[in-house]
Amino acid sequence: MEKNDVKCAQKNIMAWYRSCGRHDLPWRKTMDIYHIAVSEIMLQQTNVPKVIEKYISFIERFPTIESLAKSQQKDVIMQWQGLGYNRRAIYLHKMAQSVQNDFGGFFPEDPNILISLIGFGPYTSRSIPIFARNCDIAACDVNIARIMRRVHKVNDASEKQVIFWTEELLYHGHSRDWHNALMDFASIICTKRSPQCEMCPIKKQCLSFPDPQDAKKILRTEVGRSEHGKHIPRRIFRGRIIEYLRTHKGTTDQIGNVIKKDWQSTKDRVWCESVLKGLKKDHMIVCEDGVWLLK
């Protein structure tokens, strides 16, 4: 992208963000690196409205990284209720323990160190110092990558190429606001399935305007199981199991009868056992004498 196009895109996106951005999100009102880390983990694969309430209650329950590290895993999973993908709660708990034990309770700010923490990938390890310290580095998740591929009209661009474009477009000195702006832009305008191209503030710089071809891709069916003739993803059943075990414990048949509306022991028991073993492997639940319960 030419320098003039870069400056124009930066100016237009930031102007759009100032008037249309989600400035009231609670994690955007803090520079506490631990609080921001909590929000970043919560926002993985979960929409913003659902995260807001859970983020506030989680921070109230575990206000410091020390309080989270000293808590029991089952208490963290209980507090995570409603967010789904409960493995993230375990990762967050282990991350807090690692910070306490390996870094003296001081949250690392170097992306090269952050990426070594459990549950932290290339994006999260960079986004945390961006949002907490306004670091002049670029972070690229699937939403930002979608913007970059559309702007350059290269749907199959490599990860390396996308990162180059992201760094090229980085608004130096305003990294925190810039990345927040890109996130909102991807969520409101440059959406995955129904992009609002006519309302786009950078349509003059976007080579895909007005018809991004990637928006027409067909969604792949997730691994799951039929329930009353409807395909239900496996992750939904995993979530139902954790919800049940938050307040109960039970055998495979007892759990299966609760989590699957058309449960048939002879037909579904082996499948349910495999889901339970998967949760056990992920260190979320344990089995004691044939009875399953939260770890």
Can you give the pLDDT at residue 120?
A: 95
Can you give the pLDDT at residue 295?
A: 86
Can you give the pLDDT at residue 206?
A: 96
β-bridge mates for residue 231, sequence order: 226
Can you give the pLDDT at residue 286?
A: 93
Q: Torsion-angle region of residue 44: left (phi > 0), alpha (psi -120 to 50) or beta?
A: beta
Can you give the pLDDT at residue 221?
A: 74
d(CA 109, CA 44): 20
User: Per residue of the chain (295 residues), what is the pLDDT tens digit?
Assistant: 888 999 999 999 999 999 999 999 999 999 999 999 999 999 998 989 999 999 999 999 999 999 999 999 999 999 999 898 999 999 999 999 999 999 999 999 999 999 999 999 999 999 999 999 999 999 999 999 999 999 999 999 999 999 999 999 999 999 999 999 999 999 999 999 899 999 999 999 999 999 898 876 545 678 999 999 899 999 999 999 999 998 999 999 999 999 999 999 999 999 999 999 999 998 889 999 999 999 8
Instruction: Based on the residue annotation, tell me whether 40 is a catalytic residue of this protein.
Output: yes
Which H/E stretch holds residue 53?
A: helix 48-61
Tokens of 138: 């670029």
d(CA 130, CA 133): 6
3-199 shares its CATH topology with 224-294: no
For 241-250, b/e burial (b = at least 16 CB within 10 A) is bbbbbeeebb
d(CA 151, CA 144): 11
Can you give the pLDDT at residue 222?
A: 84
- Which one is catalytic: 2, 40, 168, 222? 40
Domain ranges of the chain: 3-199, 224-294
CATH fold group of domain 224-294:
Arc Repressor Mutant, subunit A (1.10.10)
Q: Are 59 and 257 within 8 A, CB to CB?
A: no
Of 95, 105, 88, 13, the residue nearest 43 (C-alpha): 88
Of 40, 46, 44, 37, the residue nearest 69 (C-alpha): 37
The pairing of beta strand 230-233 with beta strand 291-294 = unpaired
**Is the full-model pTM beyond 0.85?**
no
CATH of domain 3-199: 1.10.340.30
Can you give the pLDDT at residue 219?
A: 55
